[in-house]
Amino acid sequence: MEVGILTSIIEIDESFVEGSSEKIRSQVREYERGDRQAFDLEIATPDGILGDVMDAMAEIPYGETRSYGDLASALETSPIAVGQACGRNPVPILVPCHRVVGSDGSLNGYSAADGVATKRRLLEHEAREQKTVQTQLQTDS
């Protein structure tokens, strides 16, 4: 299924997702509006390195990034294997491969529509929304 987000169209293989197309689209719209930071959808991950990398990516908090090397160290594999698995992620956005960057912070690549431009927009969106959330928190004075 195709899902529009931040001026891009991203292909999501809904066979990996427990839930209707409308539920997926609704949650992506909430994410785009800044009303959702985590998806409430059951995602099936395949066996092997792709599933291992998808599980690791799913643990990266909203508004944060990890490097390919960070994930590779945790999974005892190579950064190249992690990058290849990120590129095969069948459910971008839902499993946030956009949060995986180079060790120097470079964006490197993104398999979804418009490539690195979409990855940049998603990371900037999360940074803006994260800042909005933080500034709305009351402090004890």
Q: What is the 3-state secondary structure (H, E, C) of 57-91?
A: HHCCCCCCCEEHHHHHHHHCCCHHHHHHHHHCCCC
Active site residues per annotation: 97
Q: Do the strands 100-101 and 66-67 form a parallel or antiparallel pair, or are they unpaired?
A: parallel
Encode 102-122 in three state secondary structure: CCCCCCCCCCCCCHHHHHHHH
Q: What is the dihedral of CA 45, 77, 87, 1, to 10 degrees?
A: 0
For residue 72, is pLDDT > 70? yes
| pLDDT at res. 128 | 87
Identify the CATH class of 2-136: mainly alpha
List the chain domain ranges.
2-136
Per residue in 1-26, pLDDT tens?
A: 999 999 899 999 999 999 899 999 99
Q: Which two tokens stand for residue 82?
A: 């992690």
